[in-house]
Amino acid sequence: MKIIFRIVMILAAAMMIGGALYAMVDRGSSSSPQTPAFENGDRPEGFPSSGEFAVGVRPERDEPGSALFFPAGVLKSLLIISIVSVIYLTLGKWIGKFRRQAASR
């Protein structure tokens, strides 16, 4: 019962955030003074000029031959996460060192 209550709380928080974000995006796009190019009938670069996209294919993602770079996206994400972590940890160490030096004075 306690776990169900907690799950409901998490989902309620997610729904409130989702609703607020959706309202913000919806209001932002409807109050925009300039009509986006694609709403004028101009398709963004890289999108087919007629017809629907094939099911399961996004033109900006599924370029032919992209499977050759198998782990490239995974490695790129891992690299970005690692860089951010290393920067934070190094900064944290420096600040800690600085604080200790200042306290010992």
With b meaning 16 or more CB within 10 Å and e meaning fewer, what string describes 27-41? Answer: eeeeeeeeeeeeeee
Of the candidates 30, 49, 67, 101, which one interacts with another protein according to CB under 8 A? 67
Of the candidates 12, 23, 48, 53, which one interacts with another protein according to CB under 8 A? 53
Say how far apart CA 59 and CA 37 lie, in whole Å.
18
Cα 83 to its chain centre, rounded Å, is 17
Task: Note whether 62 binds another protein by CB under 8 A.
Answer: yes
CB nearer to another protein: pick between 4 and 105? 4
Minimum distance, C-beta of residue 5 to another protein, in the bound complex (Å): 10
